[in-house]
Structure 1
Amino acid sequence: MSRRDDEAPLRARVPADIDRPDRIAFGLSGRQLVILAVTGLLLYAVWTAVATVVHPLVFLVGAVPVAAAAFLLAVGRRDGVSLDAWVLAALRHRHGPRRLVPADRPIIPAPAWVSTTGGPGDRIPLPAPLRLPARGITGDGLIDLGADGTTGLVAASTVAFGLRTPAEQNGLVAGFARWLHSLDSPVQIGVRAQRVDLTYLADRFLTAAPGLPHPALEEAARAHVAFLADLAGQRELLHRQITVAVRSRRGAHYAAHKAAETVRALGGCEVPALVLDGRDAVARLATSLDPTAPTRIPYAPSDGGDDR
């Protein structure tokens, strides 16, 4: 074993609060300072208005819960989101429409002679138009996000990192780090685990078995079909689908260039990757909207699919 194989694997500490806003004063961000300052000014304005008629202790008893709620709203977090943003999203969800339908125009109310109630005082609300961030997908697989730019999708595979020597692991980590340091636009890496349906693959093998040139090959194909059926019956098989979304505000040409650069950079890390065209991008987005649908393993690379 060479000396390079004895090298210790590279380790890097990644901060969990990498997206934390800058601290301005007292360890607080600008947003937090604004919430506390506005609350303090409101409490002071209320005190100046009622100071002549309300005892200070009574006002203090009422002001402490308000100040504590403002402090919790400013510094609290829920599921990695600031508490004020979480509360605002909850209010929008609570008062927003529950039924969304794809429509380009506002929903027209039903005529007066149509019953739109489920019971006394239970009026059925009208659905609202569904507004998706994507406006369309080009033939090249680029997703038009309107004012937010254009996104290209890259399908990537995995690497058996634990089976590599320390020197090889260091090379993979260094190559991935070079790609991360070269990014100048938002990139999202999505990893989804899907159930695998082996019956489709087994049926293809079973159909092709009689046409094989030798009886031994046909027997081997049928044995492999039996193995796949037994494997599917004993285990819940999962398939990882990895998608890299590269977004750019400089136009579709630059987004396509960044997607191609991502494929080359991941290739340097021994990660097979491919830029998705329009048909594959639509299929990838459709499967992401139905996470319970089982994945079909393709019969051959020319059939397309997620294992490219």
Structure 2
Amino acid sequence: MNRRTDEAPLRARVAADIERPDRLAFGLTGRQLLILAVAGLALYAAWSAVATVVHPLVFLAGAVPVAAMAFLLAVGRRDGAGFDAWIWAALRHRRSPHRLVPAEGPVASGPAWIATTAGPGDRLPLPAPLRLPARGITSDGLIDLGPDGTTGLVAASTLAFGLRTAAEQNGLVGGFARWLHSLDGPTQIVVRAQRVDLTYLADRYLAAAPELRHPALDEAARAHAAFLDDLATQRELLHRQVTVAVRSRRGPHHTAHQVAQAARALGACEVPAQVLDGQDTAIRLAASLDPTAPSGPLTHATTDEGDVW
């Protein structure tokens, strides 16, 4: 059945914060009500203890800053997290070891003659073992997260959405929406932008130009190499890397099935997608630990129109 090409583009409404907790009373969540209730009970207990010896105005002057701090702690947010979570994270960071090293067990102490520059007898605390969330990568490309299950990665490409007709856009949006509604576990889409170095391609063209059979091909190869050098000089080229991470706690077989289903669903939306094996998963994880590193020479790219060298 042919679809009309002049129909209006489909618009899908997506909630800005789908993990927002429920509001129980007065527009406050259970966590916020608990913080305010504890602060109120503490102030009431303090007033009951000093009511006979402290003037009410004096107690009110001291209670207002405490109530204001409790209210700020309850409703204040930064970067999407509440202030109480920030304070709890700061306390855990303060009490946690700050020097971590990769080790299987406890780190052995050094010789007794090693001392710091702070003075005789003062020694730096021993580093603690580094515990990463990922315990290993299987040959199938699944990341073992221990009690949190396993995660599989899917490498996806970008799609020229704006160049499609309204009917084609509606079909792509509908297919992507069906995949989102089919998800029954945590799924994350990570998009990284990396700088692209074209000097490698330009050098390859210049090296291959003398071996071409016709002088016109030689001239065209050198002209294209000059174009790439000029493009790299005048523009800041970026390469986008899209990774879909699918996690499940139902076992490796279920995770593998979910990853394959995600690749098929994206393929139905005309998005080239491929499940990463163990080697490719390790390479992508290693690159994610150094986000500022350049992507290296661009030798091959995949688009919705095919393969481009």
Fold in common (TM above 0.5)? yes
Distance 1:300 1:247 in 2: 29
> CA offset at residue 209 of structure 1?
3.9
Post-superposition CA distance 1:248-304 (Å, at most 9, x none): 0011111111111011100111110111111111111111111121113553579xx
Identify the residue that residue 37 of structure 1 maps to in structure 2. Answer: 37
> CA offset at residue 220 of structure 1?
2.8
Identify the residue that residue 10 of structure 2 maps to in structure 1. Answer: 10
Matches within 5 A, 1:1-308: 4-118=4-118, 124-300=124-300
> CA offset at residue 194 of structure 1?
0.5
Residue 197 of structure 2 contacts residue 298 of structure 2 at CA under 8 Å; is this kept in 1? no
- Tell me whether 285-294 or 92-101 shows the greater mean CA deviation: 92-101
- The count of residues paired between Structure 1 and Structure 2 equals 303
> CA offset at residue 208 of structure 1?
4.0
Post-superposition CA distance 1:232-254 (Å, at most 9, x none): 11111111111100000011111
Report the CA distance shift for 1:300/1:64 in structure 2 as closer, same or farther (over 3 A): closer
> CA offset at residue 41 of structure 1?
1.6
Q: What letter corresponds to residue 161 of structure 1 in structure 2?
A: F
TM-score by length of 1: 0.89
Q: What letter corresponds to residue 245 of structure 1 in structure 2?
A: A
- RMSD after superposition: 2.5
Residue 142 of structure 1 contacts residue 152 of structure 1 at CA under 8 Å; is this kept in 2? yes
Residue 155 of structure 2 contacts residue 276 of structure 2 at CA under 8 Å; is this kept in 1? yes
Q: What letter corresponds to residue 261 of structure 1 in structure 2?
A: Q
Q: What letter corresponds to residue 220 of structure 2 in structure 1?
A: A
Report the CA distance shift for 1:197/1:121 in structure 2 as closer, same or farther (over 3 A): farther
> CA offset at residue 185 of structure 1?
0.4
Specify the SS of the correspondent of 1:203: helix
Q: What letter corresponds to residue 59 of structure 2 in structure 1?
A: F
> CA offset at residue 68 of structure 1?
1.3
Consecutive unaligned residues of structure 2, counting only runs of 5 or more, are 303-307
Post-superposition CA distance 1:194-217 (Å, at most 9, x none): 111122333333444444454443
Specify the SS of the correspondent of 2:44: helix
Q: What letter corresponds to residue 243 of structure 2 in structure 1?
A: T
Distance 1:244 1:178 in 2: 16
- Tell me whether 207-216 or 5-14 shows the greater mean CA deviation: 207-216
Specify the SS of the correspondent of 1:66: helix
Distance 1:159 1:135 in 2: 34
Distance 2:111 2:153 in 1: 45
> CA offset at residue 45 of structure 1?
1.9
Post-superposition CA distance 1:51-75 (Å, at most 9, x none): 2222222222111111111111111
Q: Percent of aligned positions with the same letter in both sequences?
A: 76
Specify the SS of the correspondent of 2:151: strand
Distance 2:220 2:155 in 1: 32
Distance 1:50 1:109 in 2: 52
Report the CA distance shift for 1:121/1:55 in structure 2 as closer, same or farther (over 3 A): farther
Report the CA distance shift for 1:93/1:212 in structure 2 as closer, same or farther (over 3 A): farther
Specify the SS of the correspondent of 2:244: strand
- Tell me whether 152-161 or 86-95 shows the greater mean CA deviation: 86-95
> CA offset at residue 32 of structure 1?
1.1
Distance 1:127 1:251 in 2: 34
Report the CA distance shift for 1:123/1:114 in structure 2 as closer, same or farther (over 3 A): closer
Post-superposition CA distance 1:135-185 (Å, at most 9, x none): 111111110000111000001111111111111111111111011000000
Post-superposition CA distance 1:33-52 (Å, at most 9, x none): 11111111222222222222
Specify the SS of the correspondent of 1:291: coil
TM-score by length of 2: 0.89
